[in-house]
Structure formats: structure tokens, C-alpha cells
Chains A and B, each alone.
Chain A
């Protein structure tokens, strides 16, 4: 499976039952600090590569070398900052435990009662 791609923090334990759709959504998700880090990395590294390419090209008087260095840098930076590396998932969000969440999402008792009565009406008609 693709679980080995996930950072340890979101890797499901063996007892958890996780569907493939949920797994996919987690593997595409990046935590907040990770998003900030990847964006800053991308911007700083692109500017640094551009400066390096310009200086090198100017020194050896080669426009082609400048373009090749920059193109190589863009490819490298794309590989570093676009995939969801574990590096960007070191601060996972702490969700509430499922049991606690269920208590808060319980329906009020009145609605349960009306649902039960309507069920009864249907049964009496038959």
C-alpha cells in the first residue's frame, strides 16, 4: 500500500480501519506549518538560484549557461516543494477523539421522539 509514504504522525495504526479514499486525502494534505515552510523554501530558493545563474552567466559570458542553471534549479525546487514530503508534516493537527466528537454531534432527544412516532404511524397504516 501507499502507507509507507505517509509521515509517522499520520500513519495509521494497525487497529485503525482506514479506507483508501481517506488514505489518499491524507497523503495529499499538508499541515499548516508545512505549507508555510514549503512556500518560503520555494521563494527563497528560486531567488537564490536566479542570482547564482545570473552571476555565473555574466562571469563566463554565456546566456545559455544562465538559462540552464535556472531551468535546473526550477526543476529541483519543484521536486523539493511540490510533493508532500514528510518534512512538511511534522506538525499534524490534533483532532478530537471520535468518542468525544460523537457526544457533541448527538441529536436532541425531541427529534428522536418524532422520528419514532412517525415510524409508528407508518406501521399502524399497514
Chain B
């Protein structure tokens, strides 16, 4: 500590150590947030439903997605990545997940949204299993913090049903 160089070094190292502890405590404070998000998806129309020449089923549908994810946002939230997946069971696989739509929510103000959209990504089954299939629409989200631990959770919405015939 006898020269200004040593003192500057001491300030720099100690301040960074304190900063690290601070960031750890900020991340820890996220555990006290108990979010109560809500989501609802309505399938308004099956635009078309067909079988590819290679045997895979593909569906196009129009959906209405309503969600309120504002309670996910804390002072340590940078953004929330959210995606809607169709989940169903086939003889080959107990869980199939097909991402239909996704989005990045940058602020709390944008976390309460309503969107009317066709599926952004193609809903294709690996096989010909979609006719008359019951499926869940699941809204997954990943909370990306400014510092610390990342959280992920989902809302499962069951009770969706596909047509018995192609069209």
C-alpha cells in the first residue's frame, strides 16, 4: 500500500470481489419472486392438413395466443424467451415436441400480449400419426437474467384435437 500503484490494484481487486458478491445476491433475490403467469391458446382454424409424398404429416393452423408473463419480470430480468410447442405421443416416441411459434419479450410492458398468427414454424410429424391426434399446446419460457441463474418453466394446455382426415 506504499505506492499509488499498489493502492489502485487493491481498490480494483477488492471492488471486483464485492461486485461479484453483489451479483450473487441479486441472483439469489430472484428466488423470492413467485410468478403467476397465465396463458391461453385458441386454435381458430386448420388452414390445411396434408401428407407429404415421403409420408410425413403436416398441419398449418391459425392460433390466437394470449399470455400474461409480467410476473416473471424482476429487477434482474434481461429478457424472456417464450415458445409454443405442440406436444403429443406416438407409438414410436412417448413425447414429440414441435415448436410452432416463439418470441423474445424484452420488457415487462411487452409481457402481456395477444397475438393472432399462423404457426411460425412448420408443424410436421415424423411419420403419419397426426390424423385424429390429441395434443397439448405448451407455452415454455426461459427467463434470462442480467446476472446469475436462468429459470425455465412452462404452462401445459391440454385438450386440442386434430382432424380425422386430410384437407
* A contacts, CB < 8 Å to B: 28-30, 35-36, 38-39, 42-43, 46-47, 50, 53-54, 57-58, 61-63, 66, 70, 74, 77-78, 81-84
Contact = CB atoms under 8 A, between A and B. Distances in A.
A42 to B, nearest CB: 6
Interface of B: 1-4, 7-8, 10-11, 14-15, 18-19, 21-22, 25-26, 29, 74-76, 146-147
Given A39-B7, A46-B11, A81-B7, 8 more contacts: A28-B3, A30-B2, A35-B2, A46-B18, A50-B21, A57-B75, A74-B15, A81-B11
Given A28-B4, A82-B4, A63 B11 contact: no
A69 to B, nearest CB: 11
15 contacts: A29-B2, A39-B7, A42-B7, A43-B14, A50-B21, A57-B26, A58-B75, A61-B74, A63-B147, A66-B22, A66-B26, A77-B15, A78-B11, A81-B7, A83-B4
B75 A77 contact: no
Contacts of A57: 26, 75
Contact of A35 (B1, B15, B19, B21): B1
Nearest to A83: B4
Nearest to B77: A63
The 9 A-B pairs at the shortest CB distance, nearest first, are namely A35-B1, A61-B75, A82-B7, A74-B15, A50-B18, A63-B146, A82-B8, A78-B11, A63-B75
Given A58-B75, A77-B11, A78-B11, A70 B22 contact: yes
B14 A46 contact: yes
A65 to B, nearest CB: 9
Given A29-B2, A38-B1, A82-B7, A63 B21 contact: no
B8 to A, nearest CB: 5
Contacts of B29: 58
A81 B25 CA distance: 27
A39 B13 CA distance: 12
Contacts of B15: 46, 74, 77
B10 A39 contact: yes
Contacts of A66: 22, 26, 75
Contact of A62 (B4, B10, B21, B75): B75
A42 B22 contact: no
